[in-house]
Structures are given as structure tokens and as C-alpha cells.
A and B are shown apart, each in its own frame.
Chain A
Amino acid sequence: MLLTVFNGSPRGRASNTACLLEPFLEGFSETAGNAYELHYLAREKELEEHIRAFSEAECALWAFPLYTDCMPWAVKNFIEALAPFCGRQSNPSLGFLIHSGFPESLHSHNLKRYLEKLASRLGCPLIGTVIKGGSEGIREQPPAMTRALFRRMRELGQVFGRSGGFDPVLTARLAQPVRFSVWKLPVARIGLKMAELMYWNRMLKGNGAYEKRFARPYSQDNAEE
């Protein structure tokens, strides 16, 4: 199978999306005869190339983060450019991998609905949608923290490489938690505090911006530009 992958992250190569795709594509490539090509939608100047890649693809995987509760700009820009392909007979089958900084997958449910409708609007056979929450910072985490996730992504890729579909059990596991139960919320709260201290505050301090972290540059007390 030849898989055409579109990475829609605004960060392109240096993205959490790329970190999730890497083990998936390794697993995918284990099946003899499988090959993939990778495109970065954030590279605005390559839009024509992306359209061509879509038009020639037999099977396409779109991967990107949730951005203000939907797709990032570059992905919408690409979608608009695909309007002429609506209903074309030879459109590729489409699979989606979406992830969010929010730990629960429920934040991505509307986007999943949109993407699946988009597949039908384009007339693309739908492979499915994989949702992964809690992806913020995985590109910087030590291997011990990401090992289990990357192993799962690799397995997902292996099954995809063999069957052309997303394994339902792995997909369901990756989507956990859908939401936190009342009992788990206190644990989640501790996790959020850890992220604050170990991730955000570390970066803020490294940039000498920690003291300004609650700044309100546009509040009316601050003079108009």
C-alpha cells in the first residue's frame, strides 16, 4: 500500500504530530511493499504540490492537532483547495489522526464529526478517525514518559499496514480518557499542577517571562497602541 500522509501541524517537522506519526509509520512500513510519502501543510508555498499529492493518492492519512476546537488554519486552507475534487470517482480513502493538548478526547469529537462529513462530501471512502488527548509536550518528554504511547502508535501502524484500517481496540484505548469521572478529577488536578510546574513554568523561567505570566497587555488599563 502507498500511503500519502499530510501533517497539518503549524509546527511541521518539529511537531507533536510528527512524534506520533513516526512510530505509526515505522509500524506501517513493516509490511513488505508498504511505502509512504509525507507532506507538511504548514508549508504554504507547497499547496499546489499538496493538491497534486491528494489527487494522485490511493490512501491518505491526515494528522494534526486540535486548534481552537477545530482544525489548524493550514488544514482548512488545504480543504478549501480540495473543493474541485468533491465527488470525483478516484478520490483516495481517508483516515484521520487528531490529537489535543487537552487530556480528554471529548474535545475532539466535533472535529471528528466534521472530518467524517468532509470525507463523505469529497466522496472519499472513510478509514476512520483516531483521537489522542494529552499530547502537549510529548516531543520534549523523556523516553520513559512516551514509551507506552509510542508503542501503541507503532502497533496501530502495524495493524494499519496489514489491514488498511485502524484497530478498534487500540483506537478506543488511545482515546482514553474520553472525560474524567468525578473520582478521577482530583487526580487530573494534580496532573495539571505538575504540567504547570514542570512544563509551562520551566519554559517561562527559561525565557525570563515567569513574572509576567499573567500579563494582560490588551486590558483597557494599558494605553491603546
Chain B
Amino acid sequence: MKIVVLNGSPDSRRFELDCYLAELEGLLETRGHVVKSFELRAMNIGHCTGCWGCWVKTPGECVIRDDSQKVCRAAINSDLLLFASPVIMGFTSAVLKKISDRLIPLLHPYFEIDRGEIHHRKRYERYPAVGLLLERATDTDEEDLELIRDIYARMALDFKSELKFTGLTGNPAEEAADALDRL
């Protein structure tokens, strides 16, 4: 399976998520998966300005040329897109949110009815499954984790996919690798 990891850790002084991902990626590779990891904080990625150029000017591509194109290309051609982040103020990091907002070129502006709700139409034939890996903060409670899961599950719906994995860095990386293996 092709796995793309979006490392949303904002700060290189925080080691927990970085170390966990390094271990997990190693495990996944020894099990035959192809892993591509993006350290978002070190990349040149601007924020979405809401111009909708990716829908009405250069369909499928953002008009801002930066590293987001690399992420979009890798993401849409993967089998699993893993959003990894420390929990900050009850949600995934701004660094991760920035790239999430820049993934909208992968969708089509037209709406359709899907399971009784209005959602975006597909642009591509297939979309990767969505995974979520979180590092708890001292103030993170169960309600926070449930909220983040719920939000990513809905985001996955809009990306014509499903949230298929949620992990915590507090659990062994072996466990996460096993769960991802079973997908």
C-alpha cells in the first residue's frame, strides 16, 4: 500500500510525534508498504486565499505555486493519507490545517447528493482512505479526541473516502502498524 504521511508537528523541538512517525514509517516499510512523509513545517506552503482559482481558473490545480502541488499529487495517488498532529487547543495543528485547506483542488466545485446530504462531486476516480494519528496534550480529554475524529470523518466524506484509522502516539507504534496493515 502507498502511504502518505502529513506530519503536522509545528515545532522541531517537540520530539514525540516526530520520533513516533520515524518508528512507524520504518515498521511500515519493513512490511512492504511504500511510505512518503511530508514534514509540513519545513515546507513552503501558503494558505488558501479562497480565490477558487483551483475550481474556475486552472481546474484541479491551485494558482499559488508552492510545495502544496507535491502534496496534492502524492496524496491523490496514495492508498492511505495519514494526518498526523499534536492536539493543540483541542484540534490538529494550524500547520496541518493549512495543507488541508490546500487539498481542495482535488475536489470538484459541483455539488451532488450523497447519502441524502449535499457533498462535493468527485474530481478523481479514486481517493485514498484517511487515517489520523494524534499526540495528546496535557489538556486533551476524550471529548476532544471524539470531536477531532468526527471532524475528520466528515472531511473524509467530502474527500469521497472514509476515516479508516485513528491512532494515538501513546500506544505502541507496532499496534498502529498492525492496524494499518489490516486495511
Binding site for B on A (CB under 8 A): 9-11, 15, 42, 44, 65, 67-74, 76-77, 79-80, 82-83, 86, 102-104, 106-107, 110-111, 113-114, 117-118, 121, 179-180, 182, 185, 188-189, 192, 195-196, 200, 203-204, 206-207, 209, 212-220, 224-225
Contacts and interface: CB of A to CB of B under 8 A. Distances in A.
B118 A71 contact: no
Nearest to B75: A218
A215 B76 CA distance: 14
The size bracket of the interface on B is 35 or more
B127 to A, nearest CB: 12
17 contacts: A11-B50, A67-B101, A68-B101, A69-B151, A70-B97, A72-B97, A72-B101, A76-B97, A110-B151, A117-B144, A180-B118, A200-B109, A200-B110, A212-B60, A214-B108, A215-B60, A225-B69
Contacts of B77: 218-220
Contact of A114 (B52, B72, B106, B151): B151
Contacts of B72: 218
Contacts of A82: 89
Contacts, number: 161
Nearest to B89: A79
Closest 8 CB pairs of A and B: A10-B50, A203-B56, A69-B155, A77-B94, A218-B73, A76-B94, A11-B50, A215-B60
Contacts of B49: 10-11, 42
Interface of B: 47-52, 55-61, 69-70, 72-73, 76-77, 88-91, 93-94, 97-98, 100-101, 103-104, 106, 108-113, 116-119, 123-125, 139, 143-144, 147, 150-152, 154-155, 158
Contacts of A212: 58-60
Contacts of B104: 68
A204 B60 contact: no
A192 to B, nearest CB: 5
A194 to B, nearest CB: 11
Contacts of B52: 203
A72 B60 CA distance: 20
Contact of A76 (B91, B112, B143): B91
B142 to A, nearest CB: 12
Contacts of A192: 110-113, 118
Given A80-B94, A207-B57, A224 B47 contact: no
A212 B55 CA distance: 10
A159 B53 CA distance: 38
A218 to B, nearest CB: 4
B48 A73 contact: yes
B98 A200 contact: no
B50, B60, B118: which has the most chain A beta carbons within 10 Å? B118
A110 B154 contact: yes
A36 to B, nearest CB: 23
